[in-house]
Structure 1
Amino acid sequence: MESAPSLPPSVRLTLPDGQELRGRLLARRWTPAGWRYQVSVVLWSATAAMGVEPADYIIWVPAEGGAYLRPEDGADYTTVPTEGPPTHPYLAPPPPGADMRWAWTIEQTRAAGPGSRPTGTLIHEYSCADAPRNGPELTLEEALTAYARPGARACQHCGAAEVLTRL
């Protein structure tokens, strides 16, 4: 007789307004901005018949000193899939004490012709030779948010495409 798969361990998720929910820790991942935890919380979802049913809401939450997640007493987190810090130079965090910053910028692409409207967004590393000069300086979180928008692309000439697509 096969045993049922075990549920992921539970955690406490703090919402922006201070409410606390019980969720499940699905995965842990290292990003250049620090650790992220994938959490599942069961919430109500509307149905086509104008009813409600429980549905999983899954989100990646930053670690940030335990401001968003707290472990549950007695929960075993050793089975949670974990992707540790990568060894690729574009993805690895800078060495301790290094005076480095990881900045990004956005280029609004336009169709050919004078007075044309913006058609998309191209994200570059701030130091990319193809990046617009004096463009806005973005953090990694801001770059990831911009990259998630419809029509956004990452530059193929700098590390932006490799880094942002992996994250």
Structure 2
Amino acid sequence: MDQGKAARGVPPIFVILPDAQEVRGRLHARRQVKDGWLYQVGILVWQNGTYGLAEPAEQRVWVSPAHARPVPGVSYEHVPTHRLSGTDTPSQERPPAWTLQYLPHRPGHPGATLLHVIGCTPSDRTLTREEALAALRQPRAAACIECDAARSLPAEQRQADQNRQTQQQRDDESRQDTNPSETPP
């Protein structure tokens, strides 16, 4: 199945789905992490298109080697490969960057925003940690559970929430100090 001009030159790979089905996809990139490798694979799926008609779209996700298998006889030497340098350690790894995916409004489903770690979905703009946290606080926003976005921000989110609560407490105490006759709500 031809996945279009963008797929030309991107080698095929077998992708093992959560229900153990095996489908043919494309290998877009691979990156070394401290515990091994991750592979960015894309599979062609249906999505709602114009006027509610189904149209093909590629869904990309980073998977472990347990969820991808090479196609016999296919060369992967030209796949973009990002290796850890010999001096990289977990504390020296670059901090993650994030991107936003805007999910359009459709009848019966309000629009939403999905936060991804860079590389999970294509995007022309990256976000800093502060921008990612701010985006995640917006209504109908969530972190992608397929990439590291869901795991890369929770500690930061909790810290930001604690800082916000601490600041609120300080503000409340400050108001009480300036107007001692008032009782707090």
Residue 62 of structure 2 contacts residue 147 of structure 2 at CA under 8 Å; is this kept in 1?
no
Q: Per-residue deviation at 1:85?
A: 1.9
Residue 61 of structure 2 contacts residue 147 of structure 2 at CA under 8 Å; is this kept in 1?
no
Distance (Å, rounded) in 1 between the aligned partners of 2:13 and 2:52: 31
| Correspondence for 1:35 | 37
Structure 2 stretches lacking a partner, 5+ long: 94-136, 138-145, 161-185
| Correspondence for 1:46 | 48
Distance (Å, rounded) in 2 between the aligned partners of 1:143 and 1:39: 15
Q: Quick check: which one's helix share is greater?
A: 2
Residue 45 of structure 2 contacts residue 56 of structure 2 at CA under 8 Å; is this kept in 1?
yes
| Correspondence for 2:19 | 17
Aligned pairs for 1:1-167 within 5 A: 6-63=8-65, 67-86=66-85, 87-89=87-89, 90-91=91-92, 145-148=150-153, 152=157
Q: Per-residue deviation at 1:146?
A: 3.3
Matched position secondary structure for 2:74 = coil
Q: Per-residue deviation at 1:142?
A: 10
Rg: which structure is higher? 2
Equivalent position amino acid for 2:22 in 1? E
Which structure has more relative contact order (CA 8 Å, sep 6+)? It is 1
- Judged with a 3 Å threshold, the aligned counterparts in structure 2 of structure 1 residues 68 and 45 are, in CA distance, closer, same or farther, namely same
Distance (Å, rounded) in 2 between the aligned partners of 1:49 and 1:142: 30
Q: Quick check: which one's strand share is greater?
A: 1
- Judged with a 3 Å threshold, the aligned counterparts in structure 2 of structure 1 residues 39 and 49 are, in CA distance, closer, same or farther, namely same
Provide the identity percentage.
35
Q: Per-residue deviation at 1:58?
A: 0.4
Residue 46 of structure 1 contacts residue 52 of structure 1 at CA under 8 Å; is this kept in 2?
yes
Deviation beyond 6 Å, 4+ runs, structure 1: none
Residue 146 of structure 1 contacts residue 152 of structure 1 at CA under 8 Å; is this kept in 2?
no
Residue 147 of structure 1 contacts residue 153 of structure 1 at CA under 8 Å; is this kept in 2?
no
Q: Per-residue deviation at 1:144?
A: 5.2
Structure 1 stretches lacking a partner, 5+ long: 93-119, 121-140, 156-167
Q: Per-residue deviation at 1:143?
A: 7.6
Aligned pair count reads 102
Matched position secondary structure for 1:22 = strand
Residue 28 of structure 2 contacts residue 79 of structure 2 at CA under 8 Å; is this kept in 1?
yes
| Correspondence for 2:141 | none
